[in-house]
C-alpha cells in the first residue's frame, strides 16, 4: 500500500511540474516570427475603387484610375497565421523606395508592407520587391475585371472562376475573394516560395456574402 501511495504521489508531482508548461508548448501557440521561416506566400490584390470609397484622401484615390493594385506579398504559415515585423527591421533606402513605388500605389502602403510583411521574407528589401514584381507578373487579371467604367455585379464564385480560367494551373483552393460589405475588396492568390501557384493554407478562404457582390467602377 505504501508503494502504491508513493507511486501515485510521484505521478501527481510529475504532472504538476510539467503539466502547465506542456500545455503551453502544445497549445497551438503561433511560431515566433523569424525572417525566412514560413511556408508559402499570399499575393494580395486590392480593388482600388472599393478602397477609395472610404479613403478619399489617400494618394491612390486622386483620379489615377487604378483597378487592382498590389496590397502586398505576405509570408504565411500552412497551419494558419503569419509572421510579422521580423528582425532586423531595416528602413528602405532611397533606391529601394524608388523600386517599391513602381509596384505599390503609395509610399505609405510600401513602407507598411515592407515593415510588417517584407521583413519576414528573409530576402532583404530588393529581394522582396523583386519577388513581389515576379508574383504580380505571374497573375493575369481576367478581362471581365480589367479597369471598369461601369459598376458590375458578380458572385464571389464567379470571380474565383474568372481567375482560374485566366491563370491555368491555379488550383481551386488557391484563391480567395474578400469583400468589404457588399463590395469586392481583394483577391488573394496563394503561391509557393518559388512563386508558382499553390493551394492555400488554413484560414485563407473567400469571405463574401452569398449572391452577387458589387464591383465599383474606376474613380
Tens digit of each residue's pLDDT (9 = 90 or more) over 29-53: 667 899 999 999 999 999 999 999 9
Range 187-214 average pLDDT:
97
Domain ranges (residues) in the chain: 40-215
For 2, 9, 20, 26, 42, the CA distances from 12, given in Å and listed in that order, are: 15, 5, 13, 20, 46
The Cα 87–Cα 115 span in angstroms is: 10
Higher pLDDT, 150 or 10: 150
Range 78-101 average pLDDT:
96
Percent of the chain with pLDDT over 90: 80
Query: Phi-psi region for residue 111, left (φ > 0), alpha (ψ -120 to 50) or beta?
Result: alpha
Q: 17: Cβ–Cβ under 8 A, 6 or more apart, which residues?
A: none
Report residue 175: phi and psi, to 5°: -145, 145
Report which of 187, 210, 164 is spatially closest to residue 48, judged by C-alpha positions.
Answer: 187
Q: Which H helix or E strand runs over 212? A: strand 212-215
pLDDT of residue 31: 76
Q: Which H helix or E strand runs over 186? A: strand 183-191
pLDDT of residue 218: 85
Q: What angle do CA 57, 62, 67 make, to 5 degrees?
A: 110
pLDDT of residue 20: 34
3-state secondary structure at position 219:
coil
Cis amide leading into 11 (omega within 30) = no
Average pLDDT, the chain: 88
- Classify domain 40-215 at the CATH topology level: Ribonuclease Rh; Chain A (3.90.730)
Higher pLDDT, 24 or 178: 178
Amino acid at each position: 500500500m505504501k508503494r502504491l501511495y508513493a507511486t501515485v504521489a510521484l505521478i501527481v508531482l510529475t504532472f504538476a511540474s510539467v503539466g502547465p508548461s506542456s500545455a503551453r508548448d502544445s497549445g497551438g501557440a503561433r511560431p515566433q516570427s523569424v525572417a525566412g521561416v514560413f511556408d508559402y506566400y499570399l499575393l494580395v490584390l486590392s480593388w482600388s475603387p472599393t478602397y477609395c470609397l472610404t479613403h478619399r484622401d489617400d494618394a491612390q484615390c486622386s483620379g489615377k484610375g487604378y483597378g487592382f493594385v498590389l496590397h502586398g506579398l505576405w509570408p504565411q504559415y500552412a497551419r494558419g497565421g503569419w509572421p510579422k515585423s521580423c528582425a532586423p527591421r531595416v528602413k528602405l533606402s532611397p533606391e529601394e523606395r524608388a523600386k517599391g513605388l513602381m509596384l505599390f500605389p503609395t509610399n505609405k502602403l510600401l513602407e507598411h508592407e515592407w515593415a510588417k510583411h517584407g521583413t519576414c521574407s528573409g530576402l532583404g528589401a530588393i529581394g522582396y520587391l523583386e519577388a513581389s514584381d515576379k508574383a504580380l507578373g505571374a497573375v493575369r487579371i481576367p478581362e471581365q475585371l480589367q479597369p471598369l467604367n461601369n459598376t458590375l455585379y458578380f458572385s464571389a464564385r464567379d470571380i474565383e472562376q474568372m481567375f482560374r480560367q485566366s491563370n491555368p494551373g491555379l488550383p481551386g483552393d488557391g484563391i480567395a475573394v474578400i469583400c468589404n460589405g457588399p463590395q469586392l475588396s481583394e483577391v488573394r492568390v496563394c503561391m509557393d516560395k518559388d512563386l508558382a501557384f499553390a493551394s492555400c493554407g488554413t484560414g485563407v478562404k473567400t469571405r463574401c456574402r452569398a449572391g452577387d457582390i458589387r464591383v465599383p467602377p474606376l474613380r
